[in-house]
Amino acid sequence: MKFDKPQTLKEIAQIINTKYIGSDDFPVYGINEIHVVEKGDIVFVDHPKYYDKALNSAATIILINKKVACPEGKALLISDDPFRDFNKLTLHFNAFKPSNTTISTTAKIGEGTIIQPNVFIGNDVIIGKNCIIHSNVSIYDGNILGDNVTIHSGTVLGADAFYYKNREEGYDKLISGGNIIIKNNVDIGANCTIDRGVSGSTTIGEGTKIDNLVQIGHDTIIGKKCLIASQVGIAGCVVVEDQVTIWGQVGVRSDITIGEKAIILGQTGVTKSVVGGKVYTGNPINEARQHLKELATLKRLTKK
């Protein structure tokens, strides 16, 4: 999530009331999670297991709960609770804006696009040309749709990420400040749910087709010309490369990659990253041919 205008390290520290290591005027351009950070971004880390990953990431400002040596060319924000303070920054720079109309006056809708009755379109949404948005679709704030996109009834674009920190008093929600980007010529079926990024963008690539009842988690990137069948659930921070086919009732765990032109057969549990150009099945996932050989061997053994 990029800020509307650059901030300084001192200004950020004042917003969240923290100490810092670095020059007062050290530039800050946005906040992001570790997997999408860029130069000028703040990333937060609150567990020693991930200190090195955050300190060595592309981020140049690290919001951290321990005073450590500051890497060259970077700055630190020292916080007793980085999770809480990351939320404060999200709320400060991208606070929720209630709507008082079904289609926001700040939404931009392209020529030839058809909006059916009972559609909700939030603030600052951009919809391209020649789209069809069927009834009872909800498109939350800040989402971007390309040209020739079709979205069927009951689909929700932009719900919050399913991302919580377990505290003694209950689960603390990481506030979502990202959006969804849907490229040209995408079809999305009925009653699908696509969550917005925590700080970046959940992205659906050009020409991809998504069946009914599909869930796609926050910050996931779906490539071009993918086919995703009904009742697939994809967790957050997944990369699905171009021309992947995922058949019905597949479950995909977070933070993995499915390689280009892979085919995932129905009811597979995608428990790890897999290379492209192969067919997979089973839970845990395995190449389909190997899985069938193992089943055949097991069948022979049980007959003895």
The CATH number assigned to the domain holding 47 equals: 3.40.1390.10
Degrees, nearest 5: CA angle 255-223-53? 30
In a domain, 299, yes or no: no
Q: Are residues 9 and 69 in the same domain?
A: yes
pLDDT band at 296 (very low <50, low <70, confident <90, very high): confident
Query: What is the spatial distance between Cα 257 and Cα 82, in angstroms, rounded to a whole number?
Result: 28
| SS3 state of residue 127 | strand
Strands (E), 120-241: 120-121, 126-127, 132-133, 138-139, 144-145, 150-151, 156-159, 164-167, 170-173, 179-182, 187-188, 193-195, 201-204, 209-210, 215-216, 221-222, 227-228, 233-234, 239-240
In a domain, 164, yes or no: yes
3-state secondary structure 131-142: CEECCCCEECCC
Instruction: Yes or no: say if 67 and 55 are a contact pair by the CB < 8 Å rule.
Output: no
Single residue among 93, 122, 144 that ends a domain in this structure: 93
Q: What's the whole-number average pLDDT of the chain?
A: 95
Six-digit token pair at 177? 């400040």
The pLDDT value given to residue 155: 98
Q: Are residues 31 and 171 in the same domain?
A: no
Q: Rounded to two decimals, what is the model's pTM?
A: 0.93
Tens digits of residue pLDDT in 183-220:
999 999 999 999 999 999 999 999 999 999 999 999 99
In a domain, 62, yes or no: yes
pLDDT band at 303 (very low <50, low <70, confident <90, very high): confident
Residue of 35, 92, 134, 218 marked active site: 218
In a domain, 141, yes or no: yes
β-strands 126-127, 156-159 pairing: unpaired
Q: Are residues 77 and 116 in the same domain?
A: no
What are the helix (H) ranges across the chain?
A: 9-16, 51-55, 82-93, 288-303
Q: Are residues 75 and 157 in the same domain?
A: no
The pLDDT value given to residue 294: 76
Single residue among 93, 124, 156 that ends a domain in this structure: 93
In a domain, 296, yes or no: no
The pLDDT value given to residue 259: 98
The percentage of residues in the chain with a pLDDT greater than 70, rounded to a whole number, is: 100
Q: Are residues 114 and 244 in the same domain?
A: yes
The percentage of residues in the chain with a pLDDT greater than 90, rounded to a whole number, is: 93
Q: Are residues 44 and 184 in the same domain?
A: no
Q: Are residues 137 and 228 in the same domain?
A: yes
Q: Are residues 127 and 276 in the same domain?
A: yes
Q: Are residues 80 and 112 in the same domain?
A: no
Instruction: Yes or no: say if 200 and 36 are a contact pair by the CB < 8 Å rule.
Output: yes
| SS3 state of residue 108 | strand
35 is catalytic: no
The pLDDT value given to residue 304: 60
Tens digits of residue pLDDT in 228-254:
999 999 999 999 999 999 999 999 999
Q: Are residues 122 and 253 in the same domain?
A: yes
Tens digits of residue pLDDT in 100-137:
999 999 999 999 999 999 999 999 999 999 999 999 99
Instruction: Yes or no: say if 31 and 198 are a contact pair by the CB < 8 Å rule.
Output: no
98 burial (CB, 10 Å; 0-12 / 13-18 / 19+) is exposed
The pLDDT value given to residue 188: 98
Structural domain including 57 reads 2-93
CATH of the domain at 240: 2.160.10.10
Q: Are residues 122 and 202 in the same domain?
A: yes
In a domain, 6, yes or no: yes
The pLDDT value given to residue 53: 95
CA distances, 108 to each of 56, 103, 142 (Å): 39, 10, 11
DSSP 196: P
In a domain, 101, yes or no: no
Tens digits of residue pLDDT in 30-78:
999 888 899 999 999 999 999 999 999 999 999 999 999 999 999 999 9
* Number of structural domains the chain divides into: 2
Single residue among 67, 93, 119 that ends a domain in this structure: 93
Q: Are residues 261 and 137 in the same domain?
A: yes
Is residue 176 predicted with pLDDT exceeding 70? yes
The pLDDT value given to residue 288: 83
In a domain, 99, yes or no: no
